[in-house]
Structure 1
């Protein structure tokens, strides 16, 4: 049963404009999916033929997105906005959207997660528009493996995008890597050496059950402990002294620092108790957790004439109802209906 304000235990939401939940967490980090489309077909993310993409009219317009972002930043206390996809570089008017977000006050930190295809020719424009930093997905340094994992021969484009992002001042440039058993799990050390050489910040991420095929197998997942064991064979790792806060990555100094490597153990070392995220899909669905089984239709409210305070109220109620954790490690866990490409990273 849910109480009047939607909390799992029936408790009443405090009178605060912030996006607080019934466990005392406050969401200040907004993940915004700009499209469910992608120009890669990573094996752990979607089938070779792709998926049924959202129809154009279902996707929020730039004006609608900016209105929701204005509500989030000026009324709800959001301080960090990350644009994701699908692949956000496929979104028309991306620079305009970033520029509009950067104009909001108080000014939020703006970042983006991308596969890097096309980034080389746009990094400078994105930085000029107001993008502060960027994460680029890169699971392998081997062209053959890259084509096997992504079903596209585009490794050179990704590497060029990384270099362009660094040159444009999108610092720190972060690299997100997923290790797949029997495919690229021998590349933990080479990937870290590469990132150290180029001054990129590497983050390894455990593979999560968010594929549309529902083919995720816990036994095939490379765990955080395994990643650290592989890295420990070549580097001396010591815990970072920097407070973790709500950051998803556990950070480790490499050979005494100052360089670091991060490991995001979403499955085996969950960080739900400190989660500060709220999520908006490309079609305007609000989610209080990556693995949520429910959503709030902000697009319907927007197009139905809702006021900014109506939107803020719906947002607050959704976050108040957030569960304690994602429950991946509990019996009866069910994947969300939407895959990662439709939710946003």
Structure 2
């Protein structure tokens, strides 16, 4: 369907849990993890059946692309089952998953068999000591094994790296070249714990990389369904992507909405705007659910206001929204 600004909304990101087995400083530090656990006990995540009802309603509105997120989606045991059932919904074009990769090695083949099309692995460093300091866990080798397992299973793999001041982009790019997978650099968004980080510009990074890898040109191939802008460097075989929410606003082409693990349909990361679908799931019909979702999507905001933090109304952790 189209929103009030004429944008086609065909992409739903579904958070299936707030829980995570890492404690990344810019996302869910230890101090916030306890609050997330307490909230989960008081207000549990949607069941698989409830999420599927929402997916069927979304399909009726023209949503064709789905991405499973968290928290860390692979800590929820029904993750593979959910992928399989979403892929079976008529009209589904793709189902992907965004993961930190820690548990990926053990379930990559099952994900592929369930119909998963792609896996985005969050990886901010390939230095073991820095990884442990950033995430609170000594799990880099498990992530690397997960990436290899996903590739061997036939899944399309991409790496996501948050563009922090401490970023060692060259090391990540060389790892991506070695593994023959694209890497995307994501500007830090001032959501949740991310508000304490002042992230550099992707445009500056793009120019800096030319010193190492030669001139870059826009990638002519479509690499996915999201907002990443890909370029090709002369000395690299793999494309490099940039998701520049702060310094390269792409709201005019935004095609997505988000479902939190507790059933809130969120329209933009910047604002609390949206609708609680749990009440409709419990008391309404399938037609009611579709109508409520349609009315909410129609009101999707024109653009975010990350450049004006005082105007933001979203105060939840990113893990509680769905990364």
| Fold equivalence (TM over 0.5) | yes
**Partner Cα separation in structure 1 for residue 42 and residue 73 of structure 2:** 15
Unaligned runs of 5+ in 1: 1-17
Moved more, 332-341 or 268-277: 332-341
Question: 1:259: Cα distance to partner?
Answer: 2.4
Match of residue 109 from structure 1? 94
**Partner Cα separation in structure 1 for residue 230 and residue 184 of structure 2:** 9
Q: Deviations 1:110-160 (Å, cap 9, x if unpaired)?
A: 000000011111100111011111000000010010011101111111111
Contact 1:238 1:256 in 2 (8 A): no
- Residue 293 of structure 2, aligned match among 315, 319, 322: 315
**Partner Cα separation in structure 2 for residue 257 and residue 194 of structure 1:** 12
Deviating beyond 3 angstroms after TM superposition, the runs of 4 or more aligned structure 1 residues are 242-247
1:136 aligns with 2:121: yes
1:252 aligns with 2:231: yes
Match of residue 226 from structure 1? 204
Aligned length in residues: 318
What SS does the aligned partner of 2:19 have? coil
Unaligned runs of 5+ in 2: none
Match of residue 328 from structure 1? 306
Match of residue 284 from structure 1? 263
- Residue 92 of structure 1, aligned match among 73, 77, 96: 77
Distance 1:100 1:247, change over 3 A: closer
Question: 1:57: Cα distance to partner?
Answer: 5.3
- Residue 35 of structure 2, aligned match among 52, 74, 80: 52
* Equivalent residues in 2 for 1:53-68, closer than 5 Å: 53=36, 54-55=40-41, 58-68=44-54
Question: 1:35: Cα distance to partner?
Answer: 0.3
**Partner Cα separation in structure 1 for residue 81 and residue 222 of structure 2:** 34
TM-score normalised to structure 1 length: 0.88
More helix by share: 2
Match of residue 177 from structure 1? 161
Question: 1:291: Cα distance to partner?
Answer: 1.7
**Partner Cα separation in structure 2 for residue 66 and residue 78 of structure 1:** 13
- Residue 190 of structure 1, aligned match among 143, 167, 171: 171
Question: 1:331: Cα distance to partner?
Answer: 6.7
Moved more, 130-139 or 326-335: 326-335
**Partner Cα separation in structure 1 for residue 243 and residue 164 of structure 2:** 15
What SS does the aligned partner of 1:44 have? coil
1:165 aligns with 2:143: no
Question: 1:308: Cα distance to partner?
Answer: 1.1
